[in-house]
Structure 1
Amino acid sequence: MKMKQQGFSLIELVIVIVILGLLAATAIPRFLNVTEDAQNASVEGVAGGLATAVGFVRAQWEVDGRRNTSVILDGTSVSLDTRFGFPTGSSDSGNTSVTAMTNQTCQEVFDNVLQSAPRNVIFNEDARDQRYTVKVENGVGGPATGIDGSTVANIDLCVYHQVASLVLDQGNGRPSPVPDLTTAGAKGVTYNPGTGQVLSFSND
């Protein structure tokens, strides 16, 4: 007896190809967004950690009597503005004013209040192999009311940009253009030392 060999018909092959095409069209965009989702999750995690740490500093300041210019957080001395009670730098810098923040004091807040803070660098330095850049935006934090009822205007804002969302100069590793709150595609975290507010942002 002869065995009759059977294969797939042309119609069956076309149907299989169409099904595979439909699966690819729905699955590929999901895989393409995995990196962006991971970046967003990282920013949200840093923002949550920073907000919690800022809250701890404020709570310790309350416990210590509200008028001291620094608190000890996990063995580290953190400076703060006695009008608000939120961190403004390290005790080494001695900055206790929310309207006198610098790139360095914003970096000190990030490094000193976060446990195992992500690698970071000032925005105008080589950011290769770093996770965040640090920059102060002077006077853009708006007003805040202190514990004595007085209003302080033009509070400085600390901005922490995620390096993965920035374009770095291939020659020197610095972000180009200089990142700010409106840089296209940038993601990061802002910290207002007058209100204690920590917010994540994404300029997609």
Structure 2
Amino acid sequence: MHLSKLVKKQSGFSLIELVIVIVILGLLAATAIPRFLNVTEDAEDASLDGVSGGLATAVGFVRAQWEVDGRNNNSVILDGTSVSLDTRFGFPTGTGANGTDVTAMNDNRCQQVFNAILQSPPRNVQYTEDARNQRYTVRFLDGVGGDATDLNGDTVTGIDLCVYHQVASLTLDQTTGVASPAPDLNVGKGITYNPGTGTVVSFTN
């Protein structure tokens, strides 16, 4: 008798109660997920701004060291690394002994700048390579940097532009991991570096 009364007291949730719980969980998810996505995007933007600021500071260090060296050399030593530069402007153009012309940049030299002057550069690959598990892609744009006046007062035209895209803002081919479409200034989020003016700018699309 006592046992039967105990069994009767044990009861589960009714169907209405379960539906109410599911509806409440759905409402919570509907409000929490967008906020989480916004937080993720804000974090990506903050990371982009941080890298952009670090790159701009490092470019300034290279130029300052070049000034200290008397503006005579086509390279400076930064943290033990030889950084090449165009003696007409004094901003980094790579790390090789050759190739200091701001109108003769390429993907490899833009990548060298990124990796050589940043103290802890984010993982990166050239834009034609598998970008999965990377943070940035690197690409140079031929002649997109415009014109600049060198130290002699001459105008140099057709300066190349280095572009560093945040991989999280790109669409990658599922098979190859290569960004598609090829990243340019109208795609994703990233940073531009002009080796003729030393200007570093972050951009978003």
Instruction: Establish whether TM, by shorter chain, passes 0.5.
Output: yes
> What is the aligned counterpart of 2:192 among 180, 190, 193?
190
> What is the aligned counterpart of 1:75 among 76, 80, 94?
80
> What is the aligned counterpart of 2:59 among 46, 54, 57?
54
Deviation at 1:28, TM superposition (A): 5.2
Unaligned runs of 5+ in 1: 1-16
Instruction: Output one character per residue of 1:131-190: Cα deviation in whole Å (capped at 9) or x when no partner.
Output: 00000001010101111111101100000000011000010110011111112xx00100
Kept in 2, the 8 Å contact 1:69–1:79? The answer is: yes
Aligned pair in 2 of structure 1 residues 171, 30: CA closer, same or farther (>3 Å)? same
> What is the aligned counterpart of 1:171 among 166, 171, 175?
175
Deviation at 1:26, TM superposition (A): 6.6
Deviation at 1:100, TM superposition (A): 0.3
1:90 aligns with 2:95: yes
Higher helix content, 1 or 2 = 2
Instruction: Output one character per residue of 1:51-78: Cα deviation in whole Å (capped at 9) or x when no partner.
Output: 0000000000000001210000000000
Alignment match, 2:126: 122
1:143 aligns with 2:141: no
Q: TM-score, normalised by structure 2?
A: 0.84
Kept in 2, the 8 Å contact 1:159–1:189? The answer is: yes
- Structure showing greater radius of gyration is 2
User: Whole-Å Cα distance in 1 between the matches of residues 193 and 69 of structure 2?
Assistant: 23
Q: Percent of aligned positions with the same letter in both sequences? A: 71
User: Whole-Å Cα distance in 2 between the matches of residues 110 and 70 of structure 1?
Assistant: 16
Unaligned runs of 5+ in 2: 1-22
Alignment match, 2:50: 45
Q: What is the one-letter code of the residue matched to 1:197?
A: T
Higher strand content, 1 or 2 = 2
Instruction: Output one character per residue of 1:19-68: Cα deviation in whole Å (capped at 9) or x when no partner.
Output: xx6x8877654332011101101110000000000000000000000121
Kept in 2, the 8 Å contact 1:187–1:202? The answer is: yes
Q: TM-score, normalised by structure 1?
A: 0.85
